[in-house]
Amino acid sequence: MCELMGMSANVPTDICFSFAGLMQRGGGTGPHGDGWGVAFYEGLGVRCFHDPQPCHQSAIAQLVQSYPIKSENVICHIRQANVGRVGLANTHPFMRELWGRYWTFAHNGQLPDFTASPGSFQPVGSTDSESLFCELLNTLRSRFDSPPELDELVSCMAGICGEFARKGVCNLMISNGEWLFTLCTSKLAWITRRAPFGPAQLSDRELAIDFQEHTTPNDIVSVIATEPLTSNEEWQLYLPGEWRLWCGGETLMQGNVLR
């Protein structure tokens, strides 16, 4: 299956170090060589990069890895195609506009024969993942005429994702630029870095960094990934069914759709 990576921070932060590890899994140290994508939020805008080529040898990925684009919310995805052919239309993260904001979505797992209900949002490609995204947005639009309060929105999203989780493997990330919602049904891990910052060593590449040299004492940065990206840090594992809403590098809300 695919792999996910997300970041939530309280200050604009680049993902060059983490992405350098993830991109090796895109056909190098891992089998996820069927395309990749990343979305960086900058205010109301989003910088999206997609490539159906293996991430570890993609010239666009090399640019992303070396160019310090700073963001407070990021979603990355490397693909191992199971549903839908290899092609640009089937690379994650997918993006749509809802209530005047860009929403992005990436998924790891399989929900066999899943199709989105009729509505304003319909998939362009042929993946079950994009159909899930469209179904979620269609449901939100049908229930709310305008953006609801955050707790009401998150409760609704968790309920929808619970229905997805009962139909198959559904690890996902979704963001509208203000927050990052994550759900795990099989595999997801997270780490929050804050002062005092220390060194980190990538698991998939001979590359290390001392975060103390690149941060301030007030910085808070959380990275969420399918598999831990570093070998010398203690990552926390999600429980099956666990969801977390990240904002400013912190867990703002959490729950479990399988309980």
Judge whether 151 and 92 are in contact, CB under 8 Å. Answer: no
Residue 134 appears among annotated catalytic residues:
no
Handedness of CA 178, 68, 107, 200 (dihedral sign): negative
Torsion of CA 211, 217, 219, 222, to 10 degrees: 60
Q: Give the active site residue among 2, 76, 134, 170.
A: 2
Q: Is the preceding omega at residue 68 within 30 degrees of 0, hence cis? A: no
SS (H, E, C) 93-144: CEEEEECCEEEEEEEECCCCCCCCCCCCCCCCCCCHHHHHHHHHHHHHHHHC
What is the distance between the alpha carbons of residues 221 and 109, in angstroms, rounded to a whole number?
A: 26
Is-contact 59 49, C-beta < 8 A? no
Amino acid, res. 136: L
- Looking at the annotation, which residues are catalytic? 2
